[in-house]
């Protein structure tokens, strides 16, 4: 397999790379256009056959392909199993909304954060995804959406919003995450606004402070799931390294620097973090921040053995926050009939094909 993947290169880098092979700028632009459509070298039909063959000998495309997909009969959500060129598998989820299509992408193969309710972490972390592989998830899902008529007009982008909430911790794959964000927003590339991208982190405080200085004003989503350290450390091992005081200082710095509203993700677990006292603690924790709390009904993950809070309990928790003047909504559960929780499809396939 060729060492260099062209999808890892920005357009200026690709122009420079191919100029070194004696190719003019317009040829690099043609190749880049095809890469963003998910094409292989043999599909780049406006290039001479001899050039396509030469590129295929020296380079690989990179990115991902759709290995399998499941579509929800309830809400149209599509669950992807993406195959990487080395045979590893990651998941993505395409969700249809009134405002467009949102794609949830993965940033790592597996995850090492160890959150008690998450299927992605059950096999640990295998490796980081490259920036080109993350970009490849967007390209592959866009091609799927366009081919199946999941866009309302010819001008509409197949993927309008991205959430980095799939398997992996984006800030644990820092360099590749930052490079991906710069590449995906490039107007000569996919041109997706950073304001339409959410990055979810479990709270790696030093990395978050560093990210604050990058000038990438995405929507920050903190996977909180508990309002105090003792409880949070039983759910999320990262809390033992970075207490909430340190994490919240980093969150406040990000909010002040970017003027972006921060989202706090809070998965409600029956008898664990859903009592009235937890709601009061949560309201106190986020007071004074430009923020929103997103309450998450758990998609069941049998291996984790943690039941989700029933609907009546979710509504009571929501009201308790609202009464304390906290902006709050309950995330609409999507894709439950296709194992929408991240990591479930990959895990099932891995265990079926050991």
Which residues are known to be catalytic? 91, 342
36 alpha-carbon distance from chain centroid: 19
Structure tokens at 350: 């891995």
Instruction: Look up residue 12 and give its two tokens.
Output: 């200026």
User: Tokens 């003047």 — which residue?
Assistant: 325
| Secondary structure of the chain in HEC code, one letter for each residue | CCCCEHHHCCHHHHHHHHHCCCCCHHHHHHHHHHHCCCCCHHHCCCCCHHHHHHHHHHCECCCEEEEEEEECCCCCCEEEEEEECCCCEEEEEEEEECCEEEEECCCEEECCCCCCCCCCCCCCEEEECCHHHHHHHHHHHHHHHHHCCCCCCCCCCCCCEEEECCCCCHHHHHHHHHHHHHHHCCCCCCCCCHHHEEEEECCCHHHHHHHHCCCCCCEEEEECCCCCHHHHHHHCHHHHCCCHHHHHHHHHHHHHHHCCCEEEEEEEECCCCCCHHHHHHHHHHHCCCCEEEEEEECCCCCCCCCCECCHHHHHHHHHHHHHCCCCEEECCCCCHHHCCCCCHHHHHHHHHCC
With a CB cutoff of 8 Å and minimum separation 6, the contacts of 252 are 289
Compute the distance between CA of residue 178 and CA of residue 68 in angstroms, rounded to an integer.
28
């Amino acid at each position: 397999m060729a060492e260099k993947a062209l999808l890892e290169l920005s357009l200026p880098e690709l122009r420079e790379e191919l100029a070194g092979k004696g190719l003019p700028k317009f040829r690099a632009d043609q190749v880049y256009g095809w890469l963003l459509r998910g094409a292989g070298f043999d599909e780049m039909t406006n290039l001479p056959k001899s050039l396509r063959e030469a590129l295929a000998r020296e380079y690989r495309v990179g990115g991902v392909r759709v290995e399998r997909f499941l579509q929800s009969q309830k809400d149209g959500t599509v669950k992807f199993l993406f195959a990487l060129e080395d045979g590893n598998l990651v998941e993505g989820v395409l969700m249809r909304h009134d405002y467009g299509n949102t794609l949830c992408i993965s940033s790592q193969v597996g995850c090492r954060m160890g959150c008690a309710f998450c299927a992605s972490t059950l096999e640990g972390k295998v490796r980081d995804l490259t920036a080109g592989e993350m970009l490849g998830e967007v390209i592959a899902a866009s091609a799927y959406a366009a081919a199946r008529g999941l866009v309302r007009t010819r001008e509409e982008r197949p993927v309008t919003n991205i959430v980095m909430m799939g398997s992996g911790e984006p800030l644990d794959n820092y360099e590749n995450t930052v490079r991906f964000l710069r590449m995906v927003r490039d107007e000569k590339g996919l041109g997706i606004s950073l304001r339409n991208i959410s990055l979810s982190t479990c709270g790696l405080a030093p990395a978050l402070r560093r990210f604050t200085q990058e000038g990438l004003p995405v929507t920050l989503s903190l996977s909180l799931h508990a309002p105090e350290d003792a409880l949070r450390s039983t759910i999320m091992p990262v809390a033992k390294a970075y207490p909430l005081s340190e994490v919240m200082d980093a969150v406040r710095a990000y909010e002040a620097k970017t003027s972006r509203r921060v989202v706090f993700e809070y998965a409600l677990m029956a008898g664990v973090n859903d009592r009235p006292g937890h709601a009061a603690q949560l309201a106190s924790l986020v007071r004074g921040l430009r923020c929103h709390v997103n309450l998450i009904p758990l998609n069941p993950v049998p291996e984790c053995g943690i039941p989700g809070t029933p609907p009546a309990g979710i509504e009571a928790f929501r009201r308790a926050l609202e009464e304390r003047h906290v902006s709050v909504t309950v995330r609409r559960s999507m894709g439950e009939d296709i194992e929408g929780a991240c990591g479930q499809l990959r895990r099932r396939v891995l265990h079926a094909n050991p």
